[in-house]
A and B are shown apart, each in its own frame.
Chain A
Amino acid sequence: MAIIEVKDLSYKYPGSSKYALRDISLNIDEGEFVVITGPSGCGKTTLCRCFNGLIPHFYGGEFIGDVIVNGMSVKNTPITILSKYVGMVFQDPESQLFSLNVEREVAFGLENLGLDREEIRFRVNEVLELMGISHLRNRAPFELSGGEQQKVALAACLAMRPKILVLDEPTSHLDPVSAYSLLNLLNELKNKLKLTVVIVEHRLEALVAVCDKLIIMNEGKIVFNEDSKTVFSKENINSIKGIGIGIPKVVELYHNLLNSGFTLRNIPLSPKMFKEYLLEVVRK
């Protein structure tokens, strides 16, 4: 069942002469793991701002069409209600953090939900543990490294137990091992809590193998919305390169070999998959 429905959406920021989103229609099912990518300025962040009502309620502007989240039209639902269901972590974690220590930062949203002390304490401990940042609980967010701040922002968001998690470049400041473990964690949460995960990201290497759908945007429109293998197929690869999407090396290698007359059964999305497909060909 679709938990996010975008219907013929066009959107223009106030004062702007150009539509940031142009006639977008899109369904995201409950429990899906979706990656949105595209060149800077393609509208991916703008689209995400519609999912928790920041657009149109906070940003204003011209909003045509509709976005239905968890059965509610974002046009008619205040951000305070939507944010119970949609957790959002911004690109720049620093702009989101304001408390003087990590524990208070994570507890803030929970206090606003009116939860009792025990429940707050429990959830704070739970997410700090989950994110592996318990040791930072008494530190001030502004003195943490970019990667640590990113984890704190995500912890604060997860503590609210949203149904939908929208993350704008959540791994940009993380070192690769932390980035991979975060993605694994999100995948786990998705399965365990039926969480719907929407990630905006430029670096696709670690994501294409775990996501259910890969959405590619360009100039305010959705160009592709399929599983990763279909998106990266022979028919599509040149137009994707033309848009300026960083193709994962393993996919690039597949197409490189194909051009040299060496064909694998399908498009590998990880080194492991590559080996599997290669051995099928070689063993024949």
Chain B
Amino acid sequence: MIEVHDLWFYYDSNPVLKGVSLEINSGEIVAIMGENGAGKTTLIKHFNGLLKPKRGYVKVFGIDTRYATVAQLSRRVGLVFQNPDHQLFAETVEEEVSFALKNFGFPKEVISERVERVLKLLDLYDLKDRSPFTLSGGERRRVTIASVLCYDPDIIIFDEPTVGQDYMQKEKLAQLIKLLHTRSKTVIVVTHDVEFVAENFPRVILLSSGRIIADGSTRKILTDEDLMKKANLVLPQVTQIAYLLHEFGIPKDLLLVHEIRDSILKIFAGEKL
């Protein structure tokens, strides 16, 4: 569904992406991780044609993005930006969220029905008449998510969606991603949040200095100390504990609290009782 082949990109003379190749299939849930400045945001901006490759190509639904407009691609590829203030402009939340639908020429009834559903889904319905600029950072971010979800793109890309979100909102975001998954959407998330990825993503693409240094199962990548170090990431806290207890027979590739609890009980509870 997304095919990136030997993608090179530079803003001035310094290359930001240096020969990135990857494939993302329909219905996949993928986390793109890597250090500040690794090129993550630059990479995803190629998925809806906002940026065009300087070398190599990007194909989305078989369409070479070099020969397509953002308008063509964005109908099917929704991008939720990192900074909501770059995206928001309307007078009210409701207007903001319905803008794309109006642009795409949907009938009125469909627009109001969809907007209502999406606002409720994201806990924004009570704020629908407020100006987005009077909302908190977390709320503004949800408005940007709503304005993308409501036109129902096949691929939804989130750039750092957990930043500034409290625990409950993060849980809701995780549920939302699961919901999108059950509707066969492709979800791509750029994030530094290792704990969030450990709990919610089966596949990780690790980017460092403009190159992909790993692409595979979350368990394999997030518990690999050397890889994680290269991408300026730290191991999930559970994995850190597993490493410290490895000498006692605890496996290193644990990600979740219940996994290490069971492992500790198995190995140590016998000794204690």
Contact = CB atoms under 8 A, between A and B. Distances in A.
A173 B241 contact: no
A73 interface: no
A260 interface: yes
Interface stretch (A98-106, A119-127, A231-239, A269-277): A269-277
8 cross-chain pairs, A with B, having the tightest CB-CB distances, nearest first: A147-B36, A246-B167, A249-B237, A177-B232, A244-B168, A271-B240, A176-B234, A40-B138
B245 interface: yes
Interface string B128-168: 00000000111100000000000000000000100111111
A146 B83 contact: yes
A257 B237 contact: no
A169 B136 CA distance: 14
A250 B241 contact: yes
A9 interface: no
Nearest to B261: A256
Interface size class of B (residues with CB under 8 A): 35 or more
Given A147-B37, A175-B232, A275 B245 contact: yes
Contacts of B167: 39, 202, 244-246
Chain B residues touching A, majority SS: helix
B166 A92 contact: no
A163 B97 CA distance: 44
Given A146-B163, A284-B272, 11 more contacts: A39-B168, A92-B85, A148-B37, A172-B163, A172-B164, A176-B194, A203-B193, A256-B261, A262-B264, A262-B269, A271-B243
Contacts of B170: 246
Contacts of A260: 261, 265, 269
Nearest to A250: B237
A176 B83 contact: no
Interface in A129-157: 143, 145-148
Interface string B169-198: 110000000000000000000001111000
Given A178-B232, A205-B237, A249-B195, A41 B272 contact: no
8 contacts: A92-B83, A176-B192, A176-B232, A177-B35, A249-B257, A253-B238, A256-B257, A260-B261
B241 A176 contact: no
Contacts of B34: 175
A248 B238 CA distance: 10
A91 B137 contact: yes
B38 to A, nearest CB: 8
Contacts of B257: 249, 252-253, 256
A174 interface: yes
A117 B237 CA distance: 46
Interface string B238-255: 101101110000000000
B36 A256 contact: no
